[in-house]
């Protein structure tokens, strides 16, 4: 009967267990086959940010079919930072000088982007200060290039009333410069960008150096002082004819802090481990340096996403391995100290015990003496001796000369001695009363 009841009670448990196993299996299968779709905002469709975004999307999908990156065009860094902050995008490309909120986390510092000031030969522009009174094509207003031009203007103290600036998309700006519709073009872009290479083949156009780079860096710490090498855009008849001073910022791939750690780790891994494929799609990807990221992710202006840090730190030895010698020395010294303390404790305990044993021996002698005392005067002297001993023991206890355990072991025979004195006192007083009556 009891066996039948147990069997019936076990059936719901078994059934529930099977249901739980099925549910967990379904959840595992769903998670292991889940496709994560991320939106990456870049720049104009004619620009290098968009081209890099398309290349990254293709390579990531080739290596992990569960991650889909949708590339969207935009006006540039400022708009991208805002879209990422409001979670209208999951990934973004921005310049390293862009102001971001704490929710924005870096994945990788990418390639350097140099200030390019390209002018028409007929415009008589030899330096930045010659831009006053000229017509200048800039990038769209929400781009990083547009913002950086005004930082340049502030440093060189150009009269804003003497500047004619026209925001334009890159290809439109290039065409306007070639047609002579503008005198100069300012664009922040990577070295040897194909569109700039093509633009500078025109003998009527030339590059102007950006001097005072170190001074500019004081105002914009994100800048790097750099140079455009002689012949960077043409080797036969070198363009530029000499090394040109320049400054640069870095393109940065960023994400929102709430994006999955595992997904960001995977994107970071593919970015570096499949870089050869990425370079085939986007030449400037050759300038992405894993060591640069590894060395600078703590000192860069952006906080890095934990998923990216997992990748950069994966070859870093564990704390125990890295500090094995120091830990070993610490443990050895600690063991010596602990051993020394233990030995000292044993010595003190032994000393305390020896002192307590002396008191106990004195108590035993007093107890033996009590039984032989013949007068109350002698008994009161022994009682006084007993009380003085208690005072000494209490003082020794306070000075840690005896332990609390030894004090407890002392109190029992002391109570016995005191009780013996009271008994002997009663006895002696009774004998004394009998003598008085007989007299």
- 255 backbone dihedrals φ, ψ, rounded to 5°: -145, 175
Q: Which CATH class is domain 39-316?
A: alpha beta
CB 189 within 8 A of CB 162: no
CA distance 240 to 114: 14
Q: Give the pLDDT confidence score for residue 11 in this predicted structure.
A: 59
Cβ of 18: how many Cβ atoms within 10 Å?
Answer: 10
Q: What is the pLDDT along the chain (439 residues), one digit of tens a residue?
A: 444 544 555 556 566 667 766 766 665 555 555 788 999 999 888 888 999 999 999 999 999 989 999 999 998 899 999 999 999 999 999 998 888 899 999 999 998 999 999 999 999 999 999 999 999 999 998 888 999 999 999 999 999 899 999 999 999 999 999 999 999 999 999 888 888 999 999 999 999 999 998 999 888 888 989 999 999 898 888 899 999 999 999 999 999 999 999 999 999 999 999 989 999 998 888 888 877 776 666 666 778 999 999 998 886 555 555 556 667 667 666 666 666 665 655 555 555 567 767 777 887 888 888 878 888 888 888 888 888 888 888 888 788 787 787 777 777 788 888 888 888 788 878 777 666 666 5
Do 152 and 128 contact (CB within 8 A), yes or no? yes
- Calpha distance 178→187 (Å, rounded): 15
Residue by residue, DSSP assigns 28-66 as HHHHHTPPEEEEEE-S-TTSHHHHHHHHHHHHHHHH-TT
Which pTM value belongs to this model? 0.64
Helix, strand counts (H, E) of the chain: 15, 10
pLDDT value at residue 31: 56
What's the pLDDT at 1? Answer: 42
User: Distance (Å, rounded) from C-alpha 168 to C-alpha 75?
Assistant: 10
């Amino acid at each position: 009967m009891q066996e039948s009841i147990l069997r019936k009670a076990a059936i719901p448990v078994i059934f529930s267990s099977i249901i739980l196993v099925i549910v967990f299996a379904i959840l595992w299968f769903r998670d292991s086959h889940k496709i994560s779709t991320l939106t990456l905002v870049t720049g104009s469709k004619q620009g290098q940010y968009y081209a890099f975004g398309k290349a990254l999307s293709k390579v990531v999908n080739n290596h992990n079919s569960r991650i889909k990156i949708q590339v969207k065009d935009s006006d540039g860094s400022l708009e991208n930072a805002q879209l990422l902050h409001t979670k209208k995008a999951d990934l973004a490309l921005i310049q390293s000088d862009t102001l971001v909120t704490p929710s924005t986390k870096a994945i990788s510092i990418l390639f350097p982007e140099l200030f390019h000031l390209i002018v028409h030969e007929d415009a008589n522009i030899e330096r930045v200060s010659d831009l006053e009174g000229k017509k200048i094509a800039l990038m769209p207003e929400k781009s990083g290039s547009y913002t950086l031009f005004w930082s340049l203007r502030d440093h060189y103290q150009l009269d804003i009333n003497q500047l004619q600036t026209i925001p334009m998309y890159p290809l439109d700006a290039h065409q306007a410069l070639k047609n002579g519709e503008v005198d100069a073009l300012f664009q922040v872009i990577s070295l040897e960008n194909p569109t700039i290479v093509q633009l500078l083949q025109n003998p009527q156009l030339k590059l102007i150096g950006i001097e005072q780079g170190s001074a500019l860096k004081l105002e914009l710490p994100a800048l790097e002082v750099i140079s455009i090498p002689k012949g960077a855009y043409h080797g036969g008849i070198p363009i530029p004819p000499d090394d040109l001073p320049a400054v640069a910022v870095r393109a940065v791939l960023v994400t929102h802090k709430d994006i999955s750690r595992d997904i960001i780790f995977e994107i970071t891994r593919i970015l570096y481990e499949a870089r050869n494929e990425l370079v085939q799609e986007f030449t400037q990807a050759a300038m992405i340096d894993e060591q640069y990221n590894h060395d600078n992710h703590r000192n860069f202006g952006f906080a890095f996403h934990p998923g990216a840090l997992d990748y950069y730190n994966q070859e870093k030895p564990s704390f125990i391995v890295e500090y094995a010698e120091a830990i070993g020395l610490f443990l050895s010294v600690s063991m010596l100290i602990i051993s020394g303390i233990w030995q000292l404790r044993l010595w003190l305990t032994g000393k305390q015990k020896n002192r307590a044993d002396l008191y106990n021996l004195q108590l035993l002698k007093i107890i033996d003496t009590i039984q032989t005392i013949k007068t109350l005067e002698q008994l009161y002297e022994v009682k006084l001796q007993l009380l003085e001993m208690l005072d000494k023991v209490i003082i020794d206890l306070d000075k840690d000369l005896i332990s609390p355990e030894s004090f407890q072991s002392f109190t029992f025979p002391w109570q016995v001695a005191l009780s013996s004195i009271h008994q002997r006192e009663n006895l002696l007083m009774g004998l004394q009363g009998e003598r008085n009556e007989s007299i």
